[in-house]
Amino acid sequence: MSDSLTLRLARPEEADRVIAFINENFDWKLPLVNLPEYFDFYYRSGDALQYALAEENGELLAVAGYIRANESPTPDIWVSVWVAKKGHNGVGLDLMNAMPRLTGASVVACNNIRPNTMAFYRFLGWHADRVPHFYRLSGQASYTLARVADPTVLPVSGDLTLEQVNSPEQLAELGLPETPHTPKKDLWYLTRRYFSFPHLTYDVYCARENGVTLAYLVARVVDSGCGKVLRVVDFIGRNETLPRLGKAIDDLLHAAGAEYAECYCAGIPAEMFAAAGFCARKEGSENILPNYLTPPLFENTEYYYFTSCPDQFVLFKADGDQDRPNLTVN
């Protein structure tokens, strides 16, 4: 790293400079950067602008945007946008490597990286991999959205029920469940992500036992026009609680009239999902569970991720800047 290179956090008044740099150096205009509603949601917290910068002699060479998982002064973070000026990829890598130090984060992760960039993160000593995809078919006689070669529906059981959480106030009253998972998500994050997100509505459910909150499950039903999907996008709790929710999730699937439930998740073992009634979709599977639904794209979608700290790391579809509307910039 050059002695003249400065790595630092952005100042609140530098938003226009950051946006202009990304637009000049990225392949297309990113909606999350160029639509103010989404830029403010993802990259502002109070007065802070959640970007790290690499400069040399006052010239901006790389930027990295990040999303907080909690309200701590040193939050775990998801990297959302990482852009370097052409010919300065090494500077971009220096900036990424500095993200834990600059932000104070114990965990730096990213949801939906390009598979050909995994080598960069592994070079930093971080973990990069495919996000496993799990699904549960409804068991109906025929499907219009899913393309089903293997109609297996695993048996389910489970002694826990799910009660819907209808407000941030109810969420605060229920409190956080115990979980070893990272990134650490707090009530501030859950309230903001699932009760204040632009243009999408989530169903937040709580599982309790003897008055103790054991887990939250977050889902939304997507109607493609030719079939519905129950999309499980987050789970906060211990791994062993998930199988106890198998019947409750199956009830949600059928109450929604959905063809299948699906969940992208890294970190929770496939055996836990199987015990909850979910099959693992392998790469190359003949079963097609469309990810892009409005309009439907009849193919499977693979996601990839990285984390600086794989121990107890868990990732779901709604983490980082994923699970959002299809956005365009004019």
Which domains can be identified in the chain, with CATH numbers? 5-112 (3.40.630.30), 132-301 (3.40.630.30)
CA distance 85 to 91: 9
CA distance 68 to 41: 11
* Residues paired with residue 164 on neighbouring β-strands, in sequence order: 205
Q: Could you report the per-residue pLDDT of 51-91, keeping only the tens digit for each?
A: 999 999 999 999 999 999 999 999 999 999 999 999 999 99
Q: Could you report the per-residue pLDDT of 23-48, keeping only the tens digit for each?
A: 999 989 999 999 999 999 999 998 89
Per-residue confidence (pLDDT) for residue 4, from 0 to 100: 85
Three-state DSSP class for 116?
A: helix
Phi, psi angle pair for 221, to nearest 5°: -95, 125
Per-residue confidence (pLDDT) for residue 124, from 0 to 100: 95
Counting DSSP H helices and E strands in the chain, the numbers are 9, 17
Residue 277 token pair: 């009634």
183, 109 in Cβ contact below 8 A? yes
Residue 128 token pair: 């990069």
Task: Using the predicted structure, report yes or no on whether residue 180 has a pLDDT greater than 80.
Answer: yes
Task: Using the predicted structure, report yes or no on whether residue 330 has a pLDDT greater than 90.
Answer: no
Q: Average pLDDT for residues 14-22, to the nearest whole number? A: 98
Sheet architecture: strand order including 5-9: 5-9, 51-56, 59-68, 77-84, 108-111, 304-307, 127-130
CA distance 239 to 51: 33
